[in-house]
């Protein structure tokens, strides 16, 4: 359906084309009128050239360039361009004869000087064709660049949405996994009717608050993440009692440093879940530090025959999140030797 805006646009285009060809006609009369005062001859000769110029130009900008050159059909573009050149040159030759026969009555001396030269007349015609074709080609290239940019933007937006969905899915995996482990810890204390149960409930409440309201953010302060790691460690201490030997060293923590939420905690959970008691004690060592550019995290736990390929959701999940959030900006080394399971992580910080 043609809208009013579309009609006005078409009318505007027609007016621009008419004005342009009027300017070309003025150019022809000025160019061909050099060294002659016979305006009627020059105008008639110029009017004869106009259909040749218009037909050649429109054939170039509406058929040859968009259908063959832009679509990279170079052979057909070259072939049809040669046909167009031959036909248009033939018509230009006719224009010279038109000037000689009909406008000058076979008197060459009555012809405008420039109209006697086939080369100069052809240069005038093809100059217009080349200029308009170059403008059309530039316009098409700019449009193609704009379409390419829009397509790239669309692809990037789609990739971003997929990335956000995958991150959300990974977080949803972490939530029940973390909650299940913590509730198991609380259940064990409740069975013992331990005095630490109220304190544990309070710490669990803090952790759940962090899980529900902070973990959905793309990044949180590193200090906030450390506080909740401390709460989790305290919960595990209540569960393990004297069978846990854990050390958490924090060095040079920058207060405005940010990190993805729930990124480090699964590593710590993994140590408690898969760590092995050595002489009745589970040994866990954690170091966390940072500098202006990086965050360094190291954790080790006592282990025997630890299978580094089967750690459930925890480590596999965290690897995927690292790839999504810190692609090419982190290094992760996992090693299991000498009855120690070690994880060494370096992240380019924000």
* pLDDT tens, position by position, 45-102: 999 999 999 999 999 999 999 999 988 899 999 999 999 999 999 999 999 888 888 8
Q: Give the pLDDT score at 312.
A: 47
pLDDT at 310: 45
Classify 350 as helix, strand or coil. Answer: coil
Q: Collapse the DSSP code of 93 into the 3-class scheme (helix H, G, I; strand E, B; otherwise coil) and give the result.
A: helix
Tokens 């360039």 sit on residue: 65
In whole angstroms, give the CA distance from residue 220 to residue 102: 88
Question: Is 285 within 8 Å of 299 (Cβ atoms)?
Answer: yes
- Counting runs of H as helices and runs of E as strands, what totals does the chain give? 8, 7
Question: Rounded CA gap, 27 and 34, in Å?
Answer: 11
Q: What is the pLDDT of residues 331-342, one digit of tens each?
A: 999 888 888 899
Please provide the average confidence, as pLDDT, over all residues in the chain.
83
Q: What is the pLDDT of residue 307?
A: 52
Torsion, Cα of 169, 170, 175, 181 (10° steps)? 140
Token duo for residue 27? 């150019």
Would the pLDDT of 224 be above 50?
A: yes
At 152 the three-state DSSP class reads helix
Predicted TM-score (pTM) of this structure = 0.52
Residue scoring higher pLDDT (287 or 37): 287
Distance CA 50, CA 90 (A): 15
Output the six-digit token pair for 187: 């259940």
Going by pLDDT thresholds of 50, 70 and 90, the confidence category of residue 176 is low
H-helix or E-strand spanning residue 258:
strand 258-259
Q: Any idea which of 65-69, 216-220, 300-304 has the lowest mean pLDDT?
A: 216-220
Q: How would you class 271 by CB atoms within 10 Å of its CB: exposed for 0-12, middle for 13-18, buried for 19 or more? A: buried
When pLDDT is cut at 50, 70 and 90, the band that residue 349 belongs to is confident
Contacts of 27 (CB under 8 A, 6+ apart): 124, 128
How far is residue 63's CA from residue 54's CA, in Å, rounded to a whole number? Answer: 13
For residue 190, pLDDT over 80 is answered with no
* Confidence band of 163 (pLDDT split at 50, 70, 90): low
The C-alpha atoms of residue 115 and residue 121 are separated, in whole angstroms, by: 6
Sign of CA pseudo-dihedral 150, 155, 156, 158: positive
Mean pLDDT, residues 146-150 = 85
Domains identified in the chain and CATH numbers:
15-153 (no CATH), 194-348 (3.30.565.10)
């Amino acid at each position: 359906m043609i809208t009013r805006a579309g009609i006005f646009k078409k009318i505007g285009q027609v007016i621009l084309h008419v004005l342009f060809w009027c300017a070309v006609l003025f150019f022809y009369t000025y160019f061909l009128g050099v060294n002659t005062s016979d305006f009627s001859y020059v105008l008639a000769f110029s009017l004869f050239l106009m259909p040749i110029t218009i037909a050649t130009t429109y054939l170039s900008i509406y058929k040859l360039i968009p259908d063959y050159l832009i679509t990279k059909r170079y052979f057909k573009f070259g072939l049809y361009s040669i046909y167009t050149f031959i036909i248009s040159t033939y018509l230009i030759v006719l224009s010279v004869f038109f000037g000689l026969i009909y406008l000058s009555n076979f008197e060459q001396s009555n012809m405008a000087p420039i109209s006697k030269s086939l080369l100069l007349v052809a240069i005038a015609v093809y100059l217009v064709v080349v200029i308009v074709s170059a403008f059309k080609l530039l316009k098409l290239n700019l449009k193609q660049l704009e379409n390419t940019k829009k397509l790239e933007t669309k692809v990037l937006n789609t990739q971003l949405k997929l990335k956000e969905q995958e991150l959300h899915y990974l977080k949803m995996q972490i939530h029940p996994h973390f909650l299940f482990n913590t509730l198991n810890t609380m259940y064990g204390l409740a069975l013992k009717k331990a005095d630490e149960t109220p304190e544990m409930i309070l710490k669990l409440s803090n952790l759940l608050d962090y899980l529900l309201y902070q973990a959905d953010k793309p990044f949180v302060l590193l200090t906030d993440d450390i506080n909740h790691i401390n709460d989790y460690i305290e919960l595990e201490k209540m569960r393990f009692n004297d069978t846990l030997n854990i050390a958490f060293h924090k060095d040079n923590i920058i207060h405005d440093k940010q990190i993805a939420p729930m990124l480090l905690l699964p590593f710590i959970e993994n140590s408690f879940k898969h760590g092995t008691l050595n002489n009745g004690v589970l040994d866990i060592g954690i170091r966390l530090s940072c500098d202006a550019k990086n965050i360094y995290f190291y954790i080790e736990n006592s282990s025997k025959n630890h299978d580094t390929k089967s750690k459930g959701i925890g480590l596999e999940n965290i690897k995927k999140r690292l790839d999504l959030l810190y692609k090419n900006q982190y290094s992760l080394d996992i090693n299991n030797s000498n009855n120690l399971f070690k994880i060494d992580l370096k992240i380019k910080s924000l």
